[in-house]
Amino acid sequence: MLEWIPRGLHRGIVTTAYPRRPEEAPPGFRGRVALRGDEPASAELEAVCPTGAIRSTGGRVSLDRGRCILCSACVAADPSRFEFEPEYETAARRRGALIVNDSERAPGELRRTLAQQSRTLRRSIHVRHVDAGSDGAEEWEISALTNPFYDMQRLGLFFTLSPRHADILLVTGGVTRPMETPLLRAFEVMPHPKAVVAAGTDACSGGLATGVGGVAGGVDEVLPVDVYVPGSPPSPIALLHGLLLAAGVVTREAAA
């Protein structure tokens, strides 16, 4: 153990300073897909996306980041129109805010943050994670939140095993039919004020499982969602952004 003391003194603090200072994503990081230009496109472009995230209406193309699984099929098919952005802060408080270049999207309900609901929550916010049908990718990123680099506890965020002690319900995966009732029960026993964060593309929209009989869909098909964190899977910083957005610690949302 003593060998870690000089190593720590030599390397200094390695924990990220986010959100006090922005965390820059490395070049080439697939944070989200950006839609460039407004040139007309054929309806054949829709067939490129396996989750139906791309829509072409009257030559106008829109991109639903809540359905995007970052597979790169659209970037490969039309690199002049689609490209990856090395962006960490991808969370939004409205489902419609994840749809780029859609003039017909509904604004959606803007729910209050935990900070707006109560003055008692300051630096001790407990998070209950529920896997409602995930493929396991999001769980790897969530587990990283407790390591020394991200260290979510420095921000007053703590995981709890009981929903009765939780302020935020962090849900991953498209909600499968067998998980609907347990998810509802977890939400119902949480004390007020409380918030729900849908983490990952599957939780935001159902992802690849959309339309499958055993899957209800995204989390908002079962519960009121306060924050959507797209990505397949979202990075730990993106998850922190979503949790802090739900808590009201940060207010900046993902820009279209």
Return the half-sphere exposure (C-beta side, CA atoms, 13 A cut-off) of residue 60: 8
The pLDDT tens digits for 154-176 are 999 999 999 999 999 999 999 99
Q: In sequence order, what are the beta bridge partners of 128?
A: 169
3-state class (DSSP) for residue 169: strand
Q: Is the pLDDT of residue 34 over 60?
A: yes
The pLDDT tens digits for 108-117 are 667 778 877 7
| Mean pLDDT value of segment 27-52 | 85
What's residue 175's pLDDT?
Answer: 94
Strands 60-64 and 168-172, sheet pairing: unpaired
What's residue 256's pLDDT?
Answer: 65
The pLDDT tens digits for 193-231 are 999 999 999 999 988 877 777 888 899 999 999 999 999
Q: Nearest-CA neighbor of 206 among 234, 181, 230, 236? A: 230
What's residue 37's pLDDT?
Answer: 75
User: Which of 117-121, 137-141, 179-183, 192-196 has the least mean pLDDT?
Assistant: 117-121
